[in-house]
Amino acid sequence: MVQAVARRAVRDARLADDVAQAVFLVMARTGGRLPRPDRLAGWLFGVTRRLAARAVARRPAMVHRLLTDHPAPTGPAPGWDELLAVLDEELAGLPEDERAALVLCYPRRPWG
């Protein structure tokens, strides 16, 4: 789930790998202090979105324009990227307890 959210947010496989690694470093440093360990999935989702946003903001403007003009190839199901982008936005706006419950049922695609 972390990898899929990162890829959709940054639209660059290498940068998404960096974001995913950073998420797990944050979890290693602070995850033991989570007040509700049963909400780990929602917490991971939120951390991934925040770190991905920072990564995109730090990326040079030209690279960002190129990736926006030429989106990353999608999997075999057209329309999923748009649907999952909306789902990401809606999940990000939910309270943590509600987001955690939904992230456990989060749709997964084998290709990203």
Which residue range forms the structural domain that includes residue 28? 2-103
d(CA 64, CA 9): 12
Spatial separation of the C-alpha atoms in residues 43 and 103, rounded to whole Å = 10
Residue 111 in domain: no
> Is the model's pTM score more than 0.85?
no
DSSP state of 105: T
Write down the residue that tokens 């959210």 correspond to. 5
The answer as to whether 110 is a domain residue is no
Question: Is residue 58 a part of any domain in this protein?
Answer: yes
Give the chain's domain count. 1
Report pLDDT digits (tens) over 2-32.
Answer: 999 999 999 888 899 999 999 999 988 886 7
- pLDDT band, very low/low/confident/very high, at 111 (cuts 50, 70, 90): very low
Say if 54 falls within a structural domain. Answer: yes
